Structure 1
Amino acid sequence: MNTQAPVNTQAGTAEKKLKPCCACPETKKLRDACVFNNGEENCKDFIEAHKECLRSKGFNPQ
């Protein structure tokens, strides 16, 4: 006698939700390298470019 419920195997069709950490890898890499090498105060353009990219993907960075 089988008492288990059927398993739904349609997980592959479900859309994966994009996370902020993965949304803009190009601008994130440039921003992080600049901050590491030059300090945050000298990288405002890279930081703002990354924020704009995140906004374009539907996120609201602070």
Structure 2
Amino acid sequence: MGQGASTPVEPPKPKKKLGIKTGKPICCCCPDTKKARDECVVFRGEEDADCIKLIEAHKICLRDEGFDVK
């Protein structure tokens, strides 16, 4: 019985989920709604009525891409 060098087996990397329309990861999908949402939240806060609408619009866009967004 020899003492062979064993190479460590790396676990498979989880595949990143990609949008069904664009094939992009979630961070890169819906750039227009993402930018509007981010700017609103920074300057007005998450609780602002306009920001809430922009947040929901971004979520809808991401859902349309196939992502599970709460």
TM-score, normalization by structure 1: 0.70
- In structure 2, stretches of 5+ residues that fail to align are 1-22
Q: Among residues 24, 30, 42, which one is paired with 2:36 in the alignment?
A: 30
RMSD: 1.5
State the one-letter code of the partner of 1:34.
C
In the alignment, what sits opposite 1:11?
none
Q: Percent identity between the aligned chains? A: 54
Structure 1's consecutive aligned runs of 4 or more residues displaced over 2 angstroms after TM superposition are none
- In structure 1, stretches of 5+ residues that fail to align are 1-16
Q: Distance in 2 between matches of 1:60 and 1:24?
A: 14
Alignment coverage as a number of residue pairs: 47
1:21-59 residue CA offsets vs partner (Å, 9 max, x unmatched): 101000000000000000000111000000000001101
In the alignment, what sits opposite 1:52?
60
More helix by share: 1
